[in-house]
Amino acid sequence: MLERALQYSWEYCHYISDSDMPLKTHSQIDEFFETHNGAEFIDFAPENYEFAHYKCDVFHFFTNFPAYRTSKIMKVCNHGLARLQMIAGFRRRNVDYRHGLAWFSITREFASYVVNQ
């Protein structure tokens, strides 16, 4: 999405969901971003960093099985094995994961950096 957006001219890219509705007028929003020109608006939730590690850095053995969505046994086994990996200190990658909201407002410069990384 960002790669496609970079084909157009803009200073800020705003990612919001289809159920979001601006509470300010277009001119008020433009004024806010002119006042805060160059700032990146990205949410991080440090209280959820362990959850991010759980989701990304340990193996989840049963999630690719179609029955996983409805099988309580598979879910219990999956979470138990994932928890054991965390207790043992297992990490698939040496990455510090972060967790936050999906929505953001970022500059063109940062969007270009993200696409290139």
Beta pairing partners, 42: 104
Instruction: Give residue-wise pLDDT tens across range 80-94.
Output: 999 999 999 988 888
Instruction: Give residue-wise pLDDT tens across range 20-52.
Output: 888 999 999 999 999 999 999 999 988 888 888
Residue with tokens 């959850």: 51
Angstrom distances, CA of residue 40 to CA of 47, 109, 111: 21, 10, 10
Per the CB < 8 A criterion, the answer to whether 13 and 5 are in contact is yes
pTM of the entire structure?
Answer: 0.66
